[in-house]
């Protein structure tokens, strides 16, 4: 009798532990005050490992900047939703859990281009995001360095510090089944130079731009977001790569995203990760990174410090 009571007591405790840790897991995804912009301290040190243990083989030839993909099968309507998570050296940004949870709950594949410094600031979120199979994580430079302005050493450090930070967080999370390091890269400000793209390709990363810049201003107003969504959906074609942000810098991204997803799904689109889209066709390549037409983003060169990182002194990777 005593044995049976003990057995049931153990069962009850086990069940309670399971339920509470399970509930905890679900709650962990809920947004909290640490996800807000500037909520976390700004640390400007290098990552604890400056060069990743895993280096990628250089691309066979420098392929330039991929804007979109021309799909082999014109019956297929696929496009890729991408989200930049940018952070300058001088300030911390946020993590848009409304966007992350919307994509996760709807099981929508997406590619997240994270700054390395952003990853370290939001380490708990990155480790969580790594466990969700619908996401793939990609490289968006360490502290948003402008690839057209960085020195060759500075550029290499911006890319490799980010690879290292990802690797460190993957190790901490003990996740052996996710990619060892990112293999896709996005140019901060969409800015580049011929030699920068060559360097990034030599480091084994493919450079992914976009053909649809989704957020044009503030979308906190639902009416406005609905209008913007129609514009975004009209610009989207099979093979498109859409640019959004998930760092709470543009306002109202979640409103725009909901509408865009709903219109595109109604039009018969499926969403795939960028790495999957690349397998489905021939990339359309450009020699210049830009928002909508060549040269239109050069004005940003002078707005964010000496080399895009927000700093007044050069980022050298020292």
Q: Which positions lie near Zn ion, rule CB under 5 A? A: 84, 86, 188
Q: Which is closer to Zn ion, CB of 38 or CB of 133?
A: 38
Least separation in angstroms between residue 24's CB and Zn ion is 32
Closer residue to Zn ion in complex, CB, 47/188: 188
Q: Is 121 helix (H, G, I), strand (E, B) or coil?
A: helix
DSSP assignment letter at 68:
E
Rounded to whole angstroms, the Cα distance separating 258 from 20 reads 31
| Sign of the torsion angle spanned by Cα atoms 227, 233, 235, 240 | positive
What is the nearest approach in angstroms of Zn ion to the Cβ of residue 245? 7
CB of 157 to Zn ion, least distance (A): 17
In 3D, which of 156, 171, 162, 164 has the Cα closest to residue 142?
162
* CB-nearer residue toward Zn ion: 84 or 307: 84
Q: Work out how close the CB of 115 gets to Zn ion at its nearest, in angstroms, rounded to a whole number.
A: 7
Mode of pairing for the β-strands spanning 78-85 and 110-114: parallel
The burial class, CB within 10 Å (0-12 / 13-18 / 19+), for 6 is exposed
- Please say which residue, 71 or 193, places its beta carbon nearer to Zn ion: 193
Q: State whether the Cα torsion 287-289-295-299 is positive or negative.
A: negative
Nearer to Zn ion, 281 or 297 (CB): 297
Give least dist CB 138 to Zn ion, A. Answer: 12
Please list, in sequence order, all residues whose beta carbon lies within 8 angstroms of the beta carbon of residue 63, skipping any fewer than 6 positions away. Answer: 201, 206, 207, 283, 285
């Amino acid at each position: 009798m005593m044995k049976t009571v003990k057995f049931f007591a153990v069962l009850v405790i086990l069940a309670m532990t399971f339920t509470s840790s399970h509930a905890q897991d679900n709650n962990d995804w809920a947004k909290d005050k640490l996800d807000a912009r500037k909520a976390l301290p700004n640390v400007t040190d290098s990552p604890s490992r400056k060069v990743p243990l895993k280096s990628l083989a250089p691309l066979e030839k420098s392929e330039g900047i991929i804007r979109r993909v021309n799909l082999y099968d014109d019956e297929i309507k696929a496009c890729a939703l991408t989200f930049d998570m940018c952070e300058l050296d001088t300030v911390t940004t946020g993590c848009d859990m409304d966007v992350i949870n919307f994509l996760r709950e709807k099981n929508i594949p997406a590619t997240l281009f994270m700054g390395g410094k952003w990853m370290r600031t939001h380490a708990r979120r990155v480790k969580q995001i790594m466990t969700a199979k619908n996401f793939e994580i990609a490289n968006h430079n360490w502290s948003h360095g402008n690839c057209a302005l960085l020195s060759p050493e500075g550029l290499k450090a911006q890319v490799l510090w980010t690879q290292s930070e990802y690797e460190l967080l993957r190790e901490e999370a003990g996740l052996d089944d996710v990619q060892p390091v990112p293999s896709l890269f996005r140019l901060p400000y969409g800015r580049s130079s011929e030699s920068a793209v060559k360097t990034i390709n030599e480091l084994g990363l493919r450079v992914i731009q976009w053909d649809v810049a989704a957020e044009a201003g503030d979308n906190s107003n639902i009416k406005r977001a609905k209008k913007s969504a129609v514009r975004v959906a009209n610009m989207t074609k099979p093979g498109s790569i859409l640019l959004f942000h998930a760092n709470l810098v543009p306002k109202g991204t979640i409103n725009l995203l909901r509408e865009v997803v709903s219109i595109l799904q109604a039009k018969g689109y499926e969403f795939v990760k960028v790495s999957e889209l690349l397998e489905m066709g021939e990339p359309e390549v450009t020699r210049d990174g830009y928002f909508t037409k060549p040269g239109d983003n050069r004005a940003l060169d002078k707005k964010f410090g000496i080399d895009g990182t927000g700093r007044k002194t050069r980022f050298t990777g020292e």
